[in-house]
Structure 1
Amino acid sequence: MKAMVVRAPGGLDRLELRELADPGQPGPGQIRVAVHATSLNFHDLLVANGSIPADDGRVLMSDAAGVVEAVGADVTEFQVGDSVVSCFFPQWLDGLPFHDVGHFRRTPGDGVDGFATEVAVRPATDFTKAPRGWSHAEAATLTTAGLTAWRALVVDGGLKAGSTVLVLGTGGVSIAALQIAKAMGARVILTSSSDEKLARARALGADEVINYRSEPAWGQRVLELTGGVGVDHVVEIGGPGTLAQSIQAVRVGGHIALIGVLTGRQGEVPTSVLMAKQARLQGLIVGSRRDQQDYVAALEQGDIRPVIDRSFPLEQLAQAFRFQESAGHFGKLVVEW
């Protein structure tokens, strides 16, 4: 079977399409999945370019969507022919995060082989069912980006109709957050440096948009748009370079979901302002299997479909990553085979 791997010490010029041995039939508690699609996330890029060290020959990609080809003994949740999606933390089945999910030793495409491969044999609990009627490309966007947005707003944020949400950017997590928030009756303010992307966000339902290049004090602008009160929730993907503005933009007692570090891994935090706002700043990484199942159930009750910017074939994974680095995409980038 074909698989895309990265040769140590990493780098997009060190991705290689290899022929690997077929994993065979599933054992007890396992399923065999024909993988048909994956989607690109910042974490995948960091593994591929060597920023996150990985074993030589590591099969890349955390997200997977495909079809069950065979089930092992004692598997009752899945049947042959079911469409499934992978879990980012396969060991985190339910409840609060715990010590074992504080690292990535069992995360596909990082600590263990990922899903840039034609076939995978894994424990059945490494997957959930995909939303009914979704394509593999659409379903592949759920594992990391979609679930992160769902947890930020719904699981941890307790989003309610009538709330106001600030979304930073127009990548996969941000667009999913926009769609979830609008589906639940929230008002959404969205930022980007591209007027074209802001127009597309408006077409998806964003109520207010801010170009942060032309309005660098966008935290103050958010306050103006909310009558000086601030937003109930912030989907914060930038990290240290944007966090001060997000803290300014949040209301007293509001919630900031820190889910990205696109502007760096460390920096100054205006702790006195955060304290005065009595806001909740919570870091999060994806979610549990139960969270994913709840998200899929919610998606099946509505009409949300992920926004896919473009698709690449498996052999062009390096080109897909380079396009991701350019930040020219709106929504998700996927790879299909």
Structure 2
Amino acid sequence: MKAWQLKGFGLDNLVLGEAETPRPKAGELLVKVGAVSLNFRDKAIVEGFYEPHLVPRDLIPVSDAAGTVAAVGEGVTRFRIGDRVNSHLYSRWLDGAPGPDEPAYCLGSPLPGGLAEYMVVHEQGAVRAPDSMSDEEASTLPIAALTAWYSLVDFGQLEAGQSVLVQGTGGVSVFAVQIAHAMGARVIATSSRDENLQAVMKLGASAGINYRKTPNWENEVLAITEGKGVDLTLDVAGGEGINQSIAATKAAGRIAQIGFLSGQTTQLNLMPLIFRQTTLRGIAVAPRSSFDRMNPFLDEHRIRPVIDHVYSFEQAREAFDHLSRGPFGKVVIRV
């Protein structure tokens, strides 16, 4: 089969070539990949600053895929040949709290990913793709949509009438705006681009803040919420901005720490965290059971993924370059 493989760190070392087509073992599905979508995690793996010691030689990267079951291993009962499925990043995290070793079983590193004509996933780690979505659309769900859903619903316990702050206009953030709006929440979004703020307001955000024009954006959040702060913040930036997120979140509110776009380390000011009694929770996607609950919600509320651009399989490097520029929504590769 044709496959992109990582021969060393750096985008120049992502090479298109031939690889042996995998065969499904007992309990596994061989999926003919229709499309994959890119996440910041994929970029970080390729560039060598995401758990580089876990990245195997000749890795086929990219975790998020949608496609059609082409063959099944012995004992498979959840799916049949011809079914359309999604991959799930944490292939063994099915329900409840994560185990201590979930990262060892992630697709796209250390396990092979979907940037190839075929990939193998275990039947227990696969999710039925929404019938209403194309492969390109469904490929955006496993990390971006599911992380937003888990942050808002399972962790955030967001209710209608409450407020949520969503940072940026990447894949997770755009899904968060759509889902929170459908739940009846008030959404405040931040971005460095006014045109992106206008776009997310059309998707359901009620207010937008340009953080480049308003560096102390937490004060603007407090003004919008009459000094209270939001009930829930989705922080995708990390870095020193976590202190601003704490200030923008209400007393006894919640922060879902999702990303590290601005850095993997921070100097956390403990006194505001303590006095505001803030719950700060690291979010690393979600179990499969949450995925199973999310897809019917997306169908019910007619939420369609926002795709910035779809690239051909041969244009994988261009797709990664686009991701680095900061897309509005998702970057997809049609396989």
Cross-structure match for 2:59: 58
Cross-structure match for 1:34: 32
Per-residue CA deviations over 1:169-191 (Å, capped at 9, x if unaligned) read: 00000001000100000000000
Instruction: Map 1:188-337 onto structure 2 (within 5 A).
Output: 188-327=187-326, 329-337=327-335
Could you tell me the TM-score, scaled by structure 1's length?
Answer: 0.96
Question: 2:90 matched to 1:89?
Answer: yes
Per-residue CA deviations over 1:304-326 (Å, capped at 9, x if unaligned) read: 01100001112211111111112
* 1:57 positional shift: 0.8
Identity of aligned residues (%): 42
Alignment check: 8 A CA contact 1:4 1:314 kept: no
After TM superposition, what 4+ stretches of structure 1 lie above 3 angstroms from structure 2?
Answer: none
* 1:125 positional shift: 1.5
Counterpart amino acid of residue 2 in structure 2: K
Helix, strand or coil at the partner of 1:176 = helix
The number of residue pairs the alignment matches comes to 332
* 1:122 positional shift: 2.9
Cα distance between partner residues in 2 of 1:120 and 1:211: 41
* 1:121 positional shift: 2.8
* 1:271 positional shift: 1.3
> Structure 2 regions of 5+ residues with no counterpart?
none
Alignment check: 8 A CA contact 1:3 1:116 kept: yes
Alignment check: 8 A CA contact 2:112 2:119 kept: no
Cα distance between partner residues in 2 of 1:68 and 1:288: 21
Cross-structure match for 1:68: 69
Per-residue CA deviations over 1:239-295 (Å, capped at 9, x if unaligned) read: 123211111110011110000011111111121111111111101101111111111
Range with greater deviation from structure 2 (229-238 or 265-274): 265-274
Instruction: Map 1:114-133 onto structure 2 (within 5 A).
Output: 114-133=113-132
Cross-structure match for 1:109: 108
Per-residue CA deviations over 1:121-171 (Å, capped at 9, x if unaligned) read: 332112110112211011111111111101111011111111100000000
Cα distance between partner residues in 2 of 1:266 and 1:106: 25
* 1:236 positional shift: 0.3
Range with greater deviation from structure 2 (73-82 or 41-50): 73-82
Cross-structure match for 1:180: 179
Cα distance between partner residues in 1 of 2:120 and 2:165: 40
Cα distance between partner residues in 2 of 1:23 and 1:279: 47
Helix, strand or coil at the partner of 1:48 = helix
Cα distance between partner residues in 2 of 1:71 and 1:220: 55
